[in-house]
Amino acid sequence: MGENATDAVDTIAAQWRRERPDLDGEAMEIIGRLGKLAAVAGAKVETVFTAHGLQRGEFDVLAALRRSGEPYELNPSALADTLMMSRAGMTGRLDRLEQAGLVRRIADAGDRRAIKVALTDRGLHLIDIVVTDHFENETRILSVLSAADRKELDRISRLLLADLERED
């Protein structure tokens, strides 16, 4: 689909212009396309995780541990905070990843009552492969855009996101 081709949002916008010509639908069209873009791009991103036997949330945990640097370990609360999820939800993810041999729970050397979650060698090897494929996939997804277009899209999305987050 080219730059000037019509899409499903155009059809919806035309219907609203016909039924409610008094309304300005520009924002609805942009937000509608952003929503569709997030859904379509999200599905394409998920294909990489699925190909490696991971769910998105499991990838997120492994990636957070990998990004933390050596020794690739964090406490479960820090992981939950980083991924903006509940402690209970994190426990379920960690259970699945531990059963798969990708992470292990270890005693925190600084506090014997606490635990840390660490990547296993197998987990480190897998996340390095998956994150490489993930970066390549996202580059491929954006390859229709020129370098200038990507920079402008980044600028605009940062501006909009900052404003929306400030409202919260």
Q: What is the pLDDT of residue 113?
A: 78
The distance from CA 11 to its chain's CA centroid, rounded to whole angstroms, is 29
Q: Amino acid identity of 167?
A: E
Please report which confidence band the pLDDT of residue 1 belongs to, taking 50, 70 and 90 as the band edges: low
Q: What is the pLDDT of residue 85?
A: 87
Residue 60 pLDDT more than 80?
yes
How do residues 134-158 score in pLDDT, each as one tens digit?
999 999 999 999 999 999 999 999 9
Q: What is the pLDDT of residue 108?
A: 76
Contacts of 126 (CB under 8 A, 6+ apart): 52, 54, 62, 102
Sign of the torsion angle spanned by Cα atoms 68, 74, 76, 81: negative
Residue 2 pLDDT more than 70?
no
**Angstrom distance (rounded) from CA 5 to CA 166:** 35
How do residues 3-52 score in pLDDT, each as one tens digit?
677 899 999 999 999 999 999 999 999 999 999 999 999 999 999 999 99
Q: What is the pLDDT of residue 88?
A: 85
74 in helix, strand or coil? strand
